[in-house]
Structure 1
Amino acid sequence: MPLAENIARLRVTDGKTIEDVARGTGLPVALITAVEGGRRQPPPKSLRSLASYFGVSVDTLLR
Structure 2
Amino acid sequence: MPLADNLARLRITDGKTIQEVADGAKVPPALVAAIEAGRVSVPPKSLRSLAAYFGVGVDTLMR
TM-score by length of 2: 0.98
CA shift, 1:41, in A, is: 1.7
Per the alignment, in what secondary structure is the counterpart of residue 45 of structure 1?
Answer: helix
Post-superposition shift, 1:22?
0.8
What are the superposed Cα offsets for residues 27-47 of structure 1, whole Å, 9 maximum, x if unpaired?
001111000000012100000
Alignment of 1:22-41 (within 5 A): 22-41=22-41
Query: Distance in 1 between the 2:13 and 2:36 partners?
Result: 14
Separation of aligned partners in 2, 1:4 and 1:42: 10
Q: Does 1:11 align with 2:11?
A: yes
Identity of aligned pairs, percent? 68
Q: CA offsets per residue over residues 3-29 of structure 1, 9 Å max, x none?
A: 000000000000000000011011001
Give me the whole-angstrom Cα distance separating, in 2, the residues matched to 1:37 and 1:46.
Answer: 16
Stretches of structure 1 that go unaligned for 5 or more consecutive residues are none
- Over the aligned positions, Cα root-mean-square deviation in angstroms equals 0.4
What is aligned with 1:48? 48
- Counterpart of 1:39, as a letter, is R
Distance 1:25 1:50 in 2: 5
Aligned residues: 63
